[in-house]
Amino acid sequence: MWLRLRQIALVAEKLAPVERQLCDVLGIEVCYRDPGVGHFGLENALMPIGNQLLEVVAPIQENTAGGRYLDRRGGDGGYMVITQCNDHMPQRARVDEMGVRIAYKFDRDDYRCMQLHPKDTGATFFEIDEQLGENAHAPDGPWEPAGPDWQRAKKTDRVTGIVAAELQCDDPASVGAKWAEIAELPVSGSHTIELENATLRFVPCTDGRPEGLGGIDVTCADKAAVLAAADAIGAKRSDTQVYLCGMRINLV
C-alpha cells in the first residue's frame, strides 16, 4: 500500500487576486473550477504543479467552513493536505479503528474520498482519497477533483512538483505521531513522515499564527524567474522562499 501527496488546498478571502499571484509567480495555469464546491458555499481554482495539484478555495457566502477556518487562522493560508492511496478500504478501516472522525466522505465508481476532522488529527485537514478506473494509479493519471483533462494545463517552465508540506503544531511530536499512525507509516525523530513522493514536516508554530498548513516545498526548473516575479509584487522572502496566500513556499 502506498500514499502519495497529490493535492494541496489553500483558502483565501478572495479567489481572483490569489489565483493571479500564484499563476504569475509560479508560472502555472488553471485547469479546472469545480462547480461542486458551491454546495459548501465556496468557489475554487485548481492548477497543476507537475503531477500534483494546487487548489485555492474562497467563500462566496456567509458562515462556511472555509470562512470559519480563515477566521481561526487569521487570514489566507494552507487548508488541506490531500493524499492519494491505492487501497482505500483498509485506510477507512484504520481510521474507524482509531476513532478518528470523518468530516466528509463519499464513495463513487470512479473516486473515494475521506476527509479527516482536524480536531482529531491536529494541524490541518488530512484527506486520503483513491482514484479508480483506467490508469487510476499512474502518477500522471486521472484525478477527479481536477476535472476531466487537468493534464492539458501542465506548465513546468518554473515549478515542477510539490515535494514537502510543512505543518505547524503546538506539539509537533504528538501530531506527527498521530498522522503517522493514521497513514501506517513511520515518523522520524525529526517529526517527518515520508510519503511515496513527498515529505510531511511537523514543526512548532513560530509565525504568530495557530496550528495549520504553513508551507510547502516546490522543485524549480527556473528559480530565478519565480524569485523575480515574486519580488515584483513584494512576495519574495529570501533567495529560497516566496510568500503567497499566507503560505511559505520554499524553492528547492
Domain ranges of the chain: 3-251
pLDDT tens figures, 87-104: 999 999 999 999 999 999
Contact predicate 116/102, CB 8 Å: yes
Residue 226 is inside which H or E element, if any? Answer: helix 223-232
Q: Give residue 1's pLDDT.
A: 85
Residue 66: pLDDT above 90? no
Question: Using alpha carbons only, how large is the chain's radius of gyration in Å?
Answer: 17
The pLDDT score that the predictor gives to residue 28 is: 98
For residue 13, name the pLDDT band (cuts at 50, 70, 90).
very high
Superfamily of domain 3-251: 2,3-Dihydroxybiphenyl 1,2-Dioxygenase, domain 1 (3.10.180.10)
Position 63 scores a pLDDT of: 84
Position 185 confidence tier, pLDDT thresholds 50, 70, 90: very high
| Calpha distance 173→187 (Å, rounded) | 9
Query: What is the C-alpha to C-alpha distance for residues 201 and 196, in angstroms, rounded to an integer?
Result: 14
Instruction: Specify whether the backbone of 96 is left (phi greater than 0), alpha (psi in -120 to 50) or beta.
Output: alpha
C-alpha cell at 204: 512548532
Is the Cβ–Cβ distance between 16 and 24 less than 8 Å? no
Q: And the C-alpha cell for 153?
A: 494545463
- State phi, psi for 5 to the nearest 5 degrees: -80, 115
Q: Is 106 exposed, middle or buried (0-12, 13-18, 19+ CB in 10 A)?
A: exposed
Banded model confidence at residue 64, pLDDT cuts 50, 70, 90:
confident
Over residues 181-195, the mean pLDDT reads 95
Q: Poorest-confidence range of 30-44, 60-74, 76-90, 169-183?
A: 60-74
Q: Give the SS3 label for residue 45.
A: strand
What pLDDT sits at residue 48?
98
**Phi and psi at residue 134, in whole multiples of 5°?**
-60, 130
Q: What is the pTM of this model?
A: 0.97
Instruction: Give the whole-angstrom CA distance, residue 227 versus residue 15.
Output: 22
pLDDT for the residue 107: 94
Nearest residue to 125 via CA among 59, 73, 62? 73
